[in-house]
Structure 1
């Protein structure tokens, strides 16, 4: 059995190799790891000759997910699009070998990269007019003082202070919001489907009537938050001690969240 290189694992995580939004990407592709529910976003800048000039990613996943995506995007740089179609987890593991119980991470990273290739070839992924970066969202907040009814699908707003901000009726589906502070924020009526609030401070936040189907709130501080009439489904995840919030919420049916449906609606 191979011994994982912990020093390199830590180095990749500390440096966040290739972890960034890319303003000039030709394709921005979204992938959800159905095994653990983590969200991956792949950014590719492709030349007219179909060569990957740059590749990056963002993820809500753990350290193993970060390493796998770092290796996948590092491998992609300088390759032709056609070269990525035959990429396998085994090839990826020539760059970093994962422990036996973590082989699912390179498998998911390869699947995410291949989906980005498919999106490039078919004109899929997040359309340019709907790509919202953190900088654009912060500029909008500064300009108007609120984010009511804002179109912020798939935005990445990690480790920021949004205490008291009004997000009512905003579209935040697939948004990366983990480890940010939303004390007293207003999310009433917001579309929060498949959003990630892991580790966020949601104390006294208002989620009345919000759509939280397949949202992840693991490790979030939910003290005093109001979830009255918010919608949940089988994919809505909270810590065991927070299960009581479902008592005032409405179940949104038995259907599981499907990426293709969200892509069509997005």
Structure 2
């Protein structure tokens, strides 16, 4: 049987770890050529090297998703290396916490710049390539915070992830006639290196606790990144051909009540 992503060329942000790395591995295993991009180039290199060692096709590129020039260079480099693009998955993100009246403006702006602008810029740069290819699929990574308030201590994160969902819906509406689908994956609590990566790139943070979210999750556990990558691979594939503008909650039932 032909792998369901055979011949596809997928651009992945935040591909150096967590959900992004799992998406890159899964897409490559399903037959896609993958551009693994990250602001931590060494992490992207390691993921791409592991994919190639397993027989897949991958290229690693530096990409600061909040910088338009960096994003444009990464997308153009990926399109050159992979001879075009058919899809994009925006996994890069950070966490910031603090009650609204206590939150520093710098933290608010950073969360929106990385999580929301950092979704907009890769879409802006990849969509022309998808148009040239005659269509494609975009998967943004939002959060349960795209649907409900994640907790009472994350206004910047909640606002940024709510924006990701609305941006995704706008893209879905704007490009449907061109054969481009856009859907938003909304994970619950996932075991990733998000907090550690945020500290590495952006300094000390107040890390939100996940204990309450896990207690409120009917499955009573965190997900692993590979569970999210399974959903993303489906959304990238023709099996999801009639899905666009959707918010897909992969949250262990967290938003079911």
Please give the range of the TM-score, normalised by the shorter of the 2 chains. Answer: under 0.3
If the length of structure 2 is used for normalisation, what is the TM-score? Answer: 0.28
Name the larger-Rg structure.
1
If the length of structure 1 is used for normalisation, what is the TM-score? Answer: 0.27
